[in-house]
Amino acid sequence: MGMAMGPGGHGNLQSFSKDRSVNRHQLAPGTLRRIAGFARPYRVKIVLFVILILIGAVLGALSPLIYREIIDVGIKDSNTALVIQLGGLLALLAVVGAANSLAQRWFSSRIGEGLIFDLRTAVFDHVQLQPVAFFTRTQTGSLVTRLNSDVIGAQQAFTSTLSNVVGNLATLIATLVAMLFLSWQITLLALILLPLFLLPARSLGPKLSAITRERYQLDAAMGQTMTERFNVSGALLVKLFGRPKDESATFAQRAGRVRDIGVTTSMYSMVVLTALTIVAGLATALVYGLGGVLVIRGGLQIGTLVALTAYLNRLYGPLTSLSNVQVDVMTTLVSFERVFEVLDLAPGIVEQENAEPLPVGPTAVEFDSVSFRYPAASEVSLASLESVDSGRLSSEPGEMLLHNLSFRIEPGQMVALVGPSGAGKTTIASLIPRLYEATTGSVRLSGIDVRTATLQSVRERVGVVSQDAHLFHDTLRSNLLFARPEATEEDLIESLKAAQIWDLVGQLPDGLETTVGDRGHRLSGGEKQRLAIARLLLKDPSVVVLDEATAHLDSESEVAVQAALARAMVGRTSLVIAHRLATVRDADLILVVEDGHIVQRGTHEELIGAEGLYADLVNTQLLGSEETNVETLA
């Protein structure tokens, strides 16, 4: 006898390889209600899907009865017409069953893919609302897993799990009713043998589950190795430190463990299948033995025995699957819960209901008694996204980094921030576009607190160029249009010319259609910076924040970038974080920052003549040389 075990087939063994510890998991209150909310748009399709599953179970239960009639009535009485009619009915049932299966698959796909789309877009949109602190803490791979594995696992609650539970239950009921109608003795024998059938899977299931869980962990570790080594930065690091052989050995070791555990998993699965096949064969032999005796004694007809044997194939599969249904259901519910965990993380920065857009035109920037500390880890992240061993993040907020800062930048003015590393310069700059929120005090643009302004208008008015300009793995055109999708060809060329890089782009074989590579690594540092400046010019903000935009550049690249920056700051309110004296000496105002305090303020001439941190920075050359002058470049 083959192992045709009903709707689940060999797939029933998959539930035994799942993590059985989910049965002990306590779902968060309201999880089922929220799941129902996501399923509500598909309720009609779900009802029709269940009806089709029930119809399929009934159709499957009819075939053995027709076998019985063909043998016990048609063949026994030599009724050719009846045999032909019943054969035609079997053919019709096969066609109807196939159509039913196709319809089930269509509904399953529409429901499943629809739920995947809804969950993915909900998570993606919600993650975009999270503050920068969220992204600085979480592991990207863990976050992507929520959008892939967990979302797919969650949708299975309404597709494969629903199909298996309803289908197996309906098949089991229909099969038992038919078998009891045909022979209660053989039905009782089949049920008595059920523990023997469940024993192999139940005894080896926990071991198979543990092995499968370990394999997932090893696969993840191997995947992480490939991700880190195959990106440009990782590959450069390996080459620069000259350790390709060591890396190959490390990868081979991890891949070898995946190979070995794969063999172990296959063998355990085969042992379970073999044991089930043996038990199923034993059950078939006993049924044929008892049934044969009953046929000889006249208590049973041959056709009935054949029908009972066919039903036997449909009995054990659903029973095996339903015996482990709790694991399947809890696995999908836990996946839903992990998705909800991300959706429940409140965005640290939200837009007020009555938020007003900032006015168009020249913009003043004002800090009024601003103090800042980073929020507690538990406020901006999840332990599961950081792989924290304790499973819990600290609820203690960070130390105060900025202390009672007050200054104003008039429209069109340039203010420079200088100070030692870690003084808080970048933190100050990040408060202007509201990447972080002031703990106390307020940051104002055109006299409006950024917390009461619309986020869209704040991001439109403020443009930022950092020392590590990020470019997407796409064309030059796409990277530029990210700033202003409606920009024309002339707009793109004009911004590239202003950024001192059109000569390079114009000479490229593919021009604006040139792909820049992962994080723009096909371009030099200076080229990336000038493209970032071109993107900023295309955006045309009224406030420009330059966060050490010329750091780590060679002299030639710095000259070109400085010229582009000089053009970008013309007519705009500018806040510049600089390590070059040539950049800050022409600022309208210089703010010297130390330990989160503004310790000095004034022009270059005023500060250089006074004793203090600024003079110390210049004298110790921590502000670089004067070889490059912005006015000369402009």
Query: Percentage of the chain surpassing pLDDT 70?
Result: 86
Question: How many other CB atoms are found less than 10 A from the CB of residue 536?
Answer: 26
Q: Confirm if 207 and 268 have CB atoms less than 8 A apart.
A: yes
- Give exposure, 13-22, as e/b (b: 16+ Cβ within 10 Å): bbbbbbbbeb
Residue 627 pLDDT more than 60? Answer: no
Reference 532, options 486, 630, 577, 466; nearest CA is: 466
**Greatest alpha-carbon span in the chain:** 121
Report the alpha-carbon distance of residue 545 to residue 156 in Å, rounded: 47
Q: pLDDT tens digits, residue range 403-443?
A: 999 999 999 899 999 988 888 999 999 999 998 899 999 99
Residue 397 pLDDT more than 50? Answer: yes
Banded pLDDT at 89 (limits 50, 70, 90): very high
Report the pLDDT value the prediction gives residue 533, as an integer from 0 to 100.
86
Q: pLDDT tens digits, residue range 95-151?
A: 999 999 999 999 988 988 888 888 888 888 888 888 888 888 887 777 777 777 788
Report the alpha-carbon distance of residue 62 to residue 368 in Å, rounded: 81
Reference 549, options 532, 534, 567, 535; nearest CA is: 532
Helix (H) or strand (E) segment spanning residue 178: helix 160-182
Q: pLDDT higher for 154 or 591?
A: 591
Report the pLDDT value the prediction gives residue 1, as an integer from 0 to 100.
37
Residue 480 pLDDT more than 60? Answer: yes
Report the alpha-carbon distance of residue 483 to residue 264 in Å, rounded: 52
| Residue 225: both structure tokens together | 């190795």
Judging by DSSP bridges, how do beta strands 400-409 and 365-373 pair with one another? antiparallel
Residue 16 pLDDT more than 90? Answer: no
Residue 630 pLDDT more than 50? Answer: no
Report the alpha-carbon distance of residue 359 to residue 458 in Å, rounded: 10
Reference 154, options 322, 19, 39, 9; nearest CA is: 39
Question: Which stretches does DSSP call E strand in 331-395?
Answer: 365-373
Report the pLDDT value the prediction gives residue 532, as an integer from 0 to 100.
87
Residue 206 pLDDT more than 80? Answer: no
Q: pLDDT tens digits, residue range 434-464?
A: 988 999 999 999 999 999 999 999 988 998 8
Helix (H) or strand (E) segment spanning residue 453: none
Report the pLDDT value the prediction gives residue 634, as an integer from 0 to 100.
31
Report the pLDDT value the prediction gives residue 629, as an integer from 0 to 100.
38
Residue 391 pLDDT more than 70? Answer: no
Q: pLDDT tens digits, residue range 518-532?
A: 777 788 878 888 888
DSSP state of 3: -
Backbone angles phi, psi at 250, to 5 degrees: -65, -45
DSSP state of 415: E
Report the pLDDT value the prediction gives residue 3, as an integer from 0 to 100.
39
Does residue 130 sit in helix, strand or coil?
coil
Residue 185 pLDDT more than 70? Answer: yes
Name beta bridge partners: 414.
Answer: 574
Report the pLDDT value the prediction gives residue 633, as an integer from 0 to 100.
30
Intra-chain end-to-end CA distance of the chain, in Å: 87
- Give exposure, 609-627, as e/b (b: 16+ Cβ within 10 Å): eeeebbeebbeeeebbeee
Mean pLDDT of 207-224: 70
Reference 8, options 249, 177, 169, 145; nearest CA is: 169
Residue 329 pLDDT more than 80? Answer: no
Question: How many other CB atoms are found less than 10 A from the CB of residue 571?
Answer: 11
**What domains appear along the chain, each with residue ranges and CATH number?**
9-343 (1.20.1560.10), 365-633 (3.40.50.300)
Residue 356 pLDDT more than 60? Answer: yes
Helix (H) or strand (E) segment spanning residue 464: strand 462-466
Banded pLDDT at 14 (limits 50, 70, 90): low
Q: Angle, to 10 degrees, between the axis of helix 244-296 and the axis of helix 232-240? A: 120
Residue 626 pLDDT more than 50? Answer: no
Q: pLDDT higher for 216 or 140?
A: 140
Residue 323 pLDDT more than 50? Answer: yes
Mean pLDDT of 154-177: 85
Q: What is the pTM of this model?
A: 0.75
Report the alpha-carbon distance of residue 563 to residue 171 in Å, rounded: 77
Q: Which residues, including other chains, have CB under 8 Å from residue 385's CB and lie 6 or more apart?
A: 137, 138, 139, 142, 143, 146, 342
Mean pLDDT of 543-572: 73
| Ramachandran quadrant class, 358 (left: phi over 0; alpha: psi -120 to 50; beta: rest) | beta
Distances (CA, A) of 41 to 115, 159, 229, 387, 509: 9, 15, 43, 34, 50
Report the alpha-carbon distance of residue 486 to residue 328 in Å, rounded: 49
Report the pLDDT value the prediction gives residue 164, as an integer from 0 to 100.
83
How many H-runs (helices) and E-runs (strands) does the chain carry? 26, 10
Does residue 29 sit in helix, strand or coil?
coil
Mean pLDDT of 495-501: 85
